[in-house]
């Protein structure tokens, strides 16, 4: 076997160092491909979903909300975390309704992304929502946000100018623009 092709690391020991309602952190000892040992701290997360709601006029609904780690308000697409074992399509539709008040007739899966693969197990699933119909926004307790409608072409410019900093939002905007020919 050619060792240069084997990048797998074998877990020798794993200890949970933090367990909370949103994620767990483990401290692992691993054996590297050359037989040496190293440590890996891993944030285990159930994952999440983000949705880009697009109108018939190629405008998108986005949310502004305060993000505590950065002490600033960010502009993002609607998103939320998956509950353990939850179907990501169900989660995406729920988050779309909760955060924007919209339901949709077309819900297209755009794939998944690993936001921080070096130490975080989170996978974010992405959806394009079309055929929007407003029902009623129903935010979670303690959730405060504002909904903005922005032309998709403007959102692409905002991504390229680093005005939108959230990675899942950047990616889904660029994917949607490519798919829709914007």
What residues are annotated to the active site? 141
First to last CA, the chain: 48
Calpha distance 164→91 (Å, rounded):
23
Closest of 130, 179, 173, 129 to residue 153, by C-alpha: 173
List the Cα angle 113/117/108 in 5-degree steps. 10
Token digits for 7? 């990048």
Q: Is 159:173 a contact under the CB 8 Å cutoff?
A: yes
Query: What's the CA gap between 44 and 25, in Å, rounded?
Result: 6
Which residue is associated with the tokens 């993002």?
76
What are the structure tokens assigned to 65, written together? Answer: 């909300």
């Amino acid at each position: 076997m050619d060792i240069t092709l084997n990048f797998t690391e074998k877990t020798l020991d794993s200890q949970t160092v933090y367990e909370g309602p949103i994620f767990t952190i483990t401290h692992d000892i691993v054996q590297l491909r050359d037989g040496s040992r190293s440590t890996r701290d891993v944030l285990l997360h159930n994952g999440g979903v983000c949705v880009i709601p697009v109108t018939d006029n190629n405008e998108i609904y986005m949310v502004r909300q305060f993000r505590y780690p950065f002490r600033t308000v960010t502009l993002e697409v609607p998103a939320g975390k998956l509950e353990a074992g939850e179907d990501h399509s169900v989660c995406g539709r729920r988050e779309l309704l909760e955060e924007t008040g919209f339901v949709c007739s077309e819900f297209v899966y755009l794939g998944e992304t690993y936001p921080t693969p070096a130490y975080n197990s989170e996978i974010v699933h992405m959806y394009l929502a079309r055929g929007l119909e407003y029902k009623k926004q129903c935010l979670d307790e303690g959730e405060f946000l504002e909904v903005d409608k922005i032309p998709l072409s403007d959102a692409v410019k905002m991504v390229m100018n680093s005005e939108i900093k959230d990675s899942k939002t950047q990616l889904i905007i660029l994917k949607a623009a490519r798919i829709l020919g914007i």
